[in-house]
Structure formats: structure tokens, C-alpha cells
Amino acid sequence: MKSIALATPATSFYERKVKAIIERTGIIVNGTNTFDIVVNNPHFYQRVLANGSLGLGDSYVDGWWDCTRIDEFFTKLLESGVEQKAKLDWSTRLAGLEAKVLNFQNIREAARNASFHYNLGNELFTQMLDKRLTYTCAYWKSATTLDDAQEAKLELTCKKLHLQPGMHVLDIGCGWGSFAKYAAEKYQVKVTGINVSTEQLALGRKLCKGLPIELIQTDYRKVNKQFDRIVSLGMFEHVGLKNYRTYFELINRCLKPDGLSLLHTIGANFSAIHSDPWISKYIFPNCLIPSLKQISQALENLMVIEDVHNFGPDYDKTLMAWHKNFVTNWPKLKDKYDERFYRMWTYYLLCCAGSFRARYTQLWQLVLSKGNQSVYESIR
């Protein structure tokens, strides 16, 4: 981005304002701690004041500032509550207004939004994720490696659903089929996975070949068949606030009377109507992190919440493991992706890790039923 020449008094004013906000958190501008930031371009200050989190992320990608440990920087920033004290910029206010009026996750837009991220290329994800290509939070309770932690999450999910041989499971937003493959192999169930990403489905079908698994390119709103179990791992963040009720109506309609459904989603401590501007622009267009209030309101008189499990801190470990893989395997990727993409992806993974470490965001697994007379048995 081309820099705009600013008068010295104006520059010093912006610098004083930003430093006053940042240093209140214990972070020092041009300090020596691993969480301190080093400013490379004096126009950074005006950009952050003008555009908030979007300006902060954009200026990092442009090389206007650096930090040894971005994850630590965001942990301190979010633990301080500074984002709640800062006045919303005009673009954030506009995003909130649009979210109230428009449905950014209608069927056409949902496919476009997914392709923006998940069609970046399977090679990127094969170099970053575990061997099963599981692009959701792992479960680290008894695991020490990413591969083991992801298998533990898949096993935990299967146990919560009380899978039995011969059951038919619907996997909404099936990714590359990691859950479908695990469940079919370990629990002898049939799985129908739905997704809107062409690249994920192409590889997923190869990985699941020979198993009782069907991966279909379609939107969840088009499903009308009934299933014994319904699972969704890391897809609900893409549903959109205006579609929450529609989503749970689909679960209610397609789940057999004695069935169970598991919802695995990132969660927010407060109810928002729009996502972080930077994440929405560059990583997950028009995504939204739901609160428990928003989820529970959307499923009122439709489903019974049988179990809620929060293992948000495990996403910090998962993201740090993904970042380590990304950095380690960058030499295999750099011919396809440029240095700007490297900074963008580093910022994305590490700022999210800091968010979970600060307990600003959570990871929930909810088990849902139709409230039949049988009592749900928790495995925890």
C-alpha cells in the first residue's frame, strides 16, 4: 500500500494515542520483550487508529510492524480488555449494520465464502495439518502430538454420539472426510458427508475410497433424508446469524426420534453480530463466532442440550502446532505462495492462538437430542 506523507505534528499525535492504548496492556512499542512490537513505518499509528483490527492486521502483512511472538502479543492485548475500551471504527459499525439487514450466508454466498479459504490448495493443508487432515480443534488431554490429539478428538466425538455398527451418520461440512473415515473404520457406520468446497471433496473422496462413505457437494439446507446421528465439526462458524434457526430446524427434521447430534464450534463470550474485520476479509469471509446465548435461542423448542463441553485451551495448542508445521514446511510451499501470504497466514494462526490462550474465545462440543425418554449417558 502506498504511504501517505503526513506532517510531523499529526504523526506524533497518532503515535501518542496508539502508544497510550497499547502500553496500557504492558506491551512496549519498540521494546525488547518477545510480546513487544517493533514499528517499521511511522504511518502504522494512523492506520491502526483509522481502521482498528483491520488496520492492525493489514499493517503487519505490509511489514509496517513486527513482533517476535504474535501469539503472546495478542494474549496480553486481549487479557487486558483493551478491545472493549476502544471506540469502534466506522467500518466495524457498518459491518454490524449490514449484518442486521443482509444474509451473507445464503446458499450462493455460502459456497463463495467457503471457496475463498478451503480452495486455497490441498497442498497447503497437507503440509500444515495432521495426517488425517483434520482442520478443527484437537483434544490434548492425553496426547502429546498433533496426530494423536486429533485422533483423540475424533474418538471423543464418536463416543459422545454413542455410535453403533450399521448407523447412518450425516457429517455437515465434512472437510476432507477425516471424521467420516475414522467413524467408518473404527465404528462400522455409514457416513454421508456434505461440503461446498470442490478441492476438499476431490481429495476427500480419494482418501475415503472403499469405505461406506459418500461425500456430496451440496448446501446443508438441501438435505431432507433422516439419519441416526448428525455431526458438524467446525462448520457452524460459517452458518451466519440469520441462519442459526434454519440450521437447527434441519437437525430436527433430519434426525431420527431417538438420534443424537453433536455440534463442535468455536464460541464467543459475548453475542456479536459480525466477525473480526480482518479475519472476515482475508481468512473466513462473513464468518461469525456464536455465543451460547445465540445457540440456545436458535434451538429453543427444537432440540434438548444434553451435554456442553468446553476445551477452548486445546485450540491454542492446536493452532501453535499448525503454525509450527506451516513454518517448517514453508520451503515446500513458497513457490506457490508469496511472502505476503506467509505473513498473512502467520498472523492468522498466531493471533487466533493468542485469543484462545487469553480465554477470549472458546471451543464447545454440544450434544443435542430430540428429548426422547431415554436418558443420555455422558462419557465424561
Active-site residues: which are they? Answer: 352
C-alpha pair distances (Å), 81 with each of 22, 154, 339 = 11, 34, 32
Q: Write the single-letter amino acid at 170.
A: L
Burial of 224 from C-beta contacts in 10 A (0-12 / 13-18 / 19+): exposed
Calpha distance 95→136 (Å, rounded): 26
Alpha helices in the chain (DSSP H): 8-22, 44-61, 70-79, 82-85, 90-101, 107-118, 122-128, 146-160, 178-187, 198-207, 244-254, 277-282, 292-298, 313-328, 330-333, 339-357
C-alpha cell at 82: 483493551
Calpha distance 35→133 (Å, rounded): 31
Contact 230, 278 (CB under 8 A): no
CA angle, 209 as apex, 206 and 211 as ends, to 5°?
A: 145
Q: Which of 207, 214, 241 is nearest to 129 (CA)?
A: 207
Pairing of strands 255-268, 190-195: unpaired
DSSP letter for each residue of 113-128: HHHHHHTS-HHHHHHH
Quote the DSSP letter at residue 196: S
Neighbours of 332 (CB within 10 A): 12
C-alpha pair distances (Å), 344 with each of 34, 58, 87, 113, 237 = 19, 8, 25, 18, 20
C-alpha cell at 339: 511472502
Q: Is 235 helix (H, G, I), strand (E, B) or coil?
A: coil
C-alpha cell at 325: 508445521
